[in-house]
Amino acid sequence: MYNERKRGNDVEEPIITIDHLTVKYAEQQHPALDDISLTVPAHSWTAIIGHNGSGKSTMIKALTGLVTADAGTMTVAGMPVDEAHIWDIRRKMGVVFQNPENQFVGSTVADDVAFGLENAQIPRDKMIPRVQNALAQVGMTDFATREPAHLSGGQKQRVAIAGIVALAPDIIALDEATSMLDPEGRVAVLQTIRNLKAQQDLTILAVTHDLEEAAAADNVIVIDNGHLVASGTPPEIFARGEKLIDMGLAVPFTEQLKTDLSNAGVPLPAHYLTEEEMAEQIWKLYSTM
Amino acid sequence: MTNLMIGRYLPGDSLVHRMDPRSKIVLVFYFICIVFLADNGLSYLVLGLFTLLAVLLTKIKLIYFWRGIRPAIVLILFTVMIQVFFTRGGQIFWSWGPFALSTAGLLNAWFIFLRLVIIICMSTLLTLTTSPLDISSALSSLMTPLKWVHFPVDIIALMLSIALRFVPTLMDETVRIMNAQRARGVDFGSGNLIQQIKAVVPILIPLFVSAIQHAEDLDDAMTARGYRTDAPRTTYRIIQWHTRDTLSFGVFIVLTVIILFVRTA
Ligand SMILES: Nc1ncnc2c1ncn2[C@@H]1O[C@H](COP(=O)(O)OP(=O)(O)OP(=O)(O)O)[C@@H](O)[C@H]1O
Ligand SMILES: [Mg+2]
């Protein structure tokens, strides 16, 4: 949806490749990720969906070298994920983690946004505008001197996003990074990320439980119980409605409506429909009745 | 609950609030040393007036200073009593065994009393006008020379600031755990000592587990954002030295000279 320009050129260099990746935590019986292979095209928005405990966070941690692979190889931004490249990879790929409380390092909002810049040894006079700019992007400018104890979960998530945005990576991985925002806040923050993506040609990897958000992505990856179940464009994925329901994932409203209408004998195209497309279809049907 | 630990800081924008936290820390320590120079009524008067002036400069209500003194009142009274009854000298009004009530004893006790009150007021002034955050940055900055002996100043400073930052989080969790335990019928604050200690264990264990979880996640988040202990970093937060700090040092030098001049010995 945000990628009309890119969708035309069918061959995009993959910016992330995962090849037969297996990760098993010590003391766990089953691997958290079992023989996963996939690629993420550069400049795309890829949504990762799946149940709690299916291994989504583990996958992102493996890509940034926070958990070690038991088997398989990965590349990020053209570099193999190994000891020698991991710090370069971490500068190319920013991660916003699931729990905003546990990634707030600084003692105030501005200090926290600056944390990554300090690590990257950006001089202080260059840090100041970058911190301000990143805070403005997520609408947290007025909170710059606040301490984390006086922020809500959603506000902390915005700060966490700002901390990554300030670093200007090529890839941003969002691990349920908007889960604590209210609906308007979520729309606003996602829009901000979309704008950034367009401006800076970012690649976004977004773990989400929000199928509306997944439906708006370029690609969707479905993980279940450590296995890669499906990967493709949202229309391809949502065309397999029943299967997704089996896996306990909610299907977006338009899909639900389509299934119900089909069951009621109303003919509709098999591929995934956006809200507008759906409205158009219904309007067409209605006018031909 | 959060206020228990760090609520002593009262934000404001008085001259004292705006001083460099480093100069405040250094000057308060220096002042405590000067207090020990005082040995007669006049020198205590000077120090007392100076303290009063400093307190007034903070624009903080006196009641807050009283709250700083209150927890120490037992200690103060105890010390004063010892001075009163164990010092002999001058005119003796009353004596019994080792105890005596004398002019020297009363005077000494009065001085000790003044000394303690002055010291407590000044240290309270430091914590009332300086946020814990500023104190921790100031301490790390003051520790900088230790880098010469390869003391990991930056790591300690980061540890200190993360510890401070997680105090409210862990406090909130303690409250939550206590409520959860209460809901299961645990009774805090009653029973004998053993029973009370037993009631604390089910709070501590979940608290430790949660602290470790915080630490693990924080480790990941910090590493992902490029933090490595073996690489140099730049710093965003700086503390700024102003003319008012230089002037305050001047004021303290003048004070020292006055005290040296008026003291007896
Ligand atoms: N540090 C760890 N040590 C041991 N096991 C872990 C650890 N982290 C995750 N696991 C296990 O690995 C599996 C995958 O976890 P992961 O966090 O990747 O799931 P997820 O898809 O991100 O779930 P959620 O939607 O709840 O965030 C789970 O079974 C989990 O219990
Ligand atoms: Mg997760």
> pLDDT per residue over B22-77, tens digit each?
999 999 999 999 999 998 899 999 999 999 999 999 998 888 888 878 888 888 88
Give mean pLDDT, residues A173-183: 88
Residue B206 to residues B2, B183, B203, Cα–Cα distance (Å): 19, 15, 6
- Any CB–CB contact under 8 A between B2 and chain A? yes
Q: What is the pLDDT of residue B2?
A: 38
**How many domains are contained in chain B?**
2
- State whether B169 and B148 are in the same domain: yes
Q: What is the pLDDT of residue A210?
A: 83
| pLDDT over 70 percentage in chain B | 97
Of ligand 1's listed atoms, the one at least distance from the Cα of B216 is 1
A200 Cβ neighbours under 8 A, 6+ residues apart:
A168
Strand partners, A219: A46
Can you give the three-state secondary structure of B54-104, one letter per residue?
A: HHHHCCCCHHHHHHHHHHHHHHHHHHHHHHHHHCCCCCEEEEECCEEEEHH
Mean pLDDT taken over chain B: 87
Ligand 1 pocket, mutate which of A57, A98, A178 (most atoms under 8 A from CB): A57
Mean pLDDT taken over chain A: 87
Nearest-CA distance A66 → chain B (Å): 6
Which tokens sit at B256?
């020292």
User: Per residue in B118-144, pLDDT tens?
Assistant: 999 999 899 899 988 888 889 888 988
Q: How far is Cα B234 from Cα A189, in angstroms, rounded to an integer?
A: 29
Task: Kindly report the CATH class assigned to A5-108+164-250.
Answer: alpha beta
In a domain, B51, yes or no: yes
User: Per residue in A210-244, pLDDT tens?
Assistant: 878 888 999 999 998 999 988 999 888 888 776 66
The bound ligand whose nearest atom lies closest to the alpha carbon of B213 is: 1
- State whether B247 and B215 are in the same domain: no
**Residue A2: pLDDT over 50:** no
Q: What is the pLDDT of residue A169?
A: 96
Global pTM?
0.79
Q: What is the pLDDT of residue A7?
A: 45
pLDDT band at A4 (very low <50, low <70, confident <90, very high): very low
- State whether B16 and B100 are in the same domain: yes
| pLDDT over 90 percentage in chain A | 57
Contact A61 B133 (CB under 8 A): no
Ligand 2 centre to CA of A178 (Å) is: 13
Q: Residue B147 sits in which domain range?
A: 142-224
In a domain, B229, yes or no: no
Distance from first CA to last CA of chain A, Å, rounded?
A: 31
- Any CB–CB contact under 8 A between A118 and chain B? yes
- Any CB–CB contact under 8 A between A200 and chain B? no
Interface of B with A in 171-190 (CB under 8 A): none
- State whether B217 and B119 are in the same domain: no
- State whether B121 and B249 are in the same domain: yes
For this complex, say whether ipTM is above 0.90: no
pLDDT band at B6 (very low <50, low <70, confident <90, very high): very low
Contact A95 B224 (CB under 8 A): yes
Give the rounded distance of the alpha carbon of A128 from its chain centre.
28
In a domain, B136, yes or no: no
Domain spans, chain A:
5-108+164-250, 252-289
